[in-house]
A and B are shown apart, each in its own frame.
Chain A
Amino acid sequence: TDTFNYATYHTLEEIYGFMDMLVAEHPQLVSKFQIGSTYEGRPIYVLKFSTGGNNRPAIWIDTGIHSREWVTQASGIWFAKKITQDYGQDTSLTTILDNMDIFLEIVTNPDGFAFTHSKNRLWRKTRSITAGSACIGVDPNRNWDAGFGKAGASNNPCSETYHGKFANSETEVKSIVDFVKSHGNIKAFISIHSYSQLLLYPYGYTTEQTPDHNELDQLAKDAVTALSSLYGTKFKYGSIIKAIYRASGGTIDWTYNQGIKYSYTFELRDTGRYGFLLPASQIIPTAQETWLALKTIMEYTLNHPY
């Protein structure tokens, strides 16, 4: 993985190949396991970074649930490599990994991602078929069982924000749900999207503030401060419904309601030039600055057990 090119976009096969290489190089630290299969039958893989222990408290990071947000999968690859490089070198990450596990799902929507490479670069949803409709796919960030079907999602299968027939109808979502429930000890859940430079916390489906609002807000502030320190990239932060718009059935609303207090979602670069088509030259800077924010959240999670 030292010669892997982190500054270009890769296909699903290349990413899965990268994951295998990383596991082979660091068998004591990294393992790969399958949490499910996609609608079209592709395996859904998660990397586990662990230094031992049994069912340690854990941090979950996922990238690429919206398949066209290519900088997120590319950043996920970079994060994976960074973890293996920094463990044993960086005191903070080493302490985190000596006490917690990190789960990283680099391609959360493999069918959609493959489709962006083969047929439609701007595909966002899953690839599941909806009976009675000519339109394909469900927005996997509207398919979670948190305010499912309420305002902030579409019931039109042709819409980019179609919520699906029922909560967890998408295997890509259900696989994570099952994993999170069976693990039972995930303490931070970070879902990474692009673009618009935001760090968000629950809720999206209601204007009601979470009981942890002040703490989540302060941690978000600290995280974006760390992020901005590298290249001066400006991020806003706040609850989903306040900072962007009402969105129901979203990932981190569900994880928060499951008891995962530190539930965040990122919207990575940019502010209005390239959108989802961020040039590959920006992959590494994007990943580097995001990593600083991730570390802030991970360190806080370690130091503030609940």
Chain B
Amino acid sequence: KEDFVGHQVLRISAADEAQVQKVTELEDLEHLKLDFWRGPAQPGSPIDVRVPFSSTQAVKVFLETHGIEYTIMIDDVQSLLDEEQEQIFAFQARAGT
């Protein structure tokens, strides 16, 4: 299965149209392998993006350089997925007995 260890989901708050445009530029940088869960829209509308571990530093530096605020929405995607799988397995085990 695809491994999402160290992947974070950042919630980005673009304050104005220029910042939205900057985030849109990030979208075009294919080598970062970003997965936009909520794409860039109008200022004030949150932008959520899953960032692979290998791109975390680059993305955060980019955002900070341009004064774009963000928070970490999900600290480690894989840990959430593990929890989800555990719940499903637990249900299946109960159903099996």
Contacts and interface: CB of A to CB of B under 8 A. Distances in A.
Interface of A: 5, 8-9, 118-122, 156, 158, 160-161, 195-196, 244-245, 272-277, 279-280
A254 B12 CA distance: 31
Contacts of B61: none
B20 to A, nearest CB: 9
A109 to B, nearest CB: 17
A195 B83 CA distance: 19
B81 A245 contact: no
B50 A122 contact: yes
A276 B36 CA distance: 12
A273 B75 CA distance: 10
Contacts of A277: 74, 77, 80-81, 84
Interface string B62-88: 000000000001100100110110011
Interface residues of B, number: 29
Interface in B1-21: 1-2, 4, 9, 11
Nearest to B1: A119
Given A245-B40, A245-B41, 12 more contacts: A119-B2, A121-B81, A122-B77, A156-B30, A272-B46, A272-B48, A273-B74, A275-B9, A275-B48, A275-B74, A277-B81, A279-B87
B45 interface: yes
Given A118-B1, A244-B45, A275-B74, A160 B91 contact: no
Contacts of A273: 73-74
Contacts of B54: none
Contact of B4 (A122, A156, A274): A122
Contacts of B73: 272-273, 275
B57 interface: no
Contact of A244 (B4, B41, B48, B88): B41
A196 B37 CA distance: 10
A279 B91 CA distance: 14
Contacts of A161: 39
Contact of A245 (B1, B39, B50, B87): B39
Contacts of B39: 161, 244-245
Contacts of A245: 39-42, 45
20 contacts: A8-B87, A8-B91, A9-B88, A119-B1, A120-B1, A121-B1, A121-B81, A158-B30, A196-B38, A244-B38, A244-B39, A245-B41, A245-B45, A272-B11, A273-B74, A275-B37, A275-B74, A276-B37, A277-B80, A280-B87
